[in-house]
Amino acid sequence: MLPFKYPVPQTDPPRSPRETLPTMYDLPSEDPEEPGWPDEFHDLQPQLLSLTFRPRNYPASEIFSGTDMNLYYYVHHTLWHKRPAWFGVVGVPRLYDQSELGMSYVTWQEGVNPFVIVELLSPGT
């Protein structure tokens, strides 16, 4: 449960989303009840995507990719999320606040939506 209710009411002048909306520290980052990868290829394919996702015009430090990571996408329902097998974002730093790896990807916090999202399928899923 979140320690306080989101979104926090706005003030005049309005406060930034970084001050008023939940961060990756406030939102769940994984579901311990969720089963792991269905097969070896679901582990290898996201690695290959991360290694080859290199859009031109963006330095490596401005390319983020997430594997089996919660993706929070809707500011009006801050607990709604998807957990795609892999996604790539351009124009945001690889590191959160230039210092640490992200626990989840929060679109209103980063200010950029994913450029590409991939869901891997297998006979068992």
Rounded distance, CA 92 to CA 105, Å?
A: 11
Single-letter code of the amino acid located at 91: G
**What pLDDT score does 108 carry?**
92
* DSSP secondary structure code for residue 100 in this structure: B
Q: Check pLDDT > 70 for residue 123.
A: no
Rounded distance, CA 40 to CA 84, Å?
A: 17
Is the Cβ–Cβ distance between 86 and 65 less than 8 Å? Answer: yes
Rounded distance, CA 104 to CA 22, Å?
A: 12
The helix/strand/coil state of 109 is helix
Our measurement of the distance from residue 76's CA atom to the centroid of its chain's CA atoms, rounded to an integer in Å, reads 17
pTM beyond 0.85, yes or no: no
Neighbour-count burial for 10-39, b at 16+ CB within 10 Å, e otherwise: eeeeeeebeebbbebebbeeeeeeeeebee
Rounded distance, CA 39 to CA 23, Å?
A: 32
25-83 confidence digits (pLDDT tens): 888 776 656 655 556 777 789 999 999 999 999 998 899 999 989 999 999 999 999 99
85-120 confidence digits (pLDDT tens): 999 999 988 887 778 888 899 999 999 999 999 998
**What pLDDT score does 125 carry?**
58
**What pLDDT score does 11 carry?**
72
Average pLDDT over residues 5-11: 62
**What pLDDT score does 1 carry?**
46
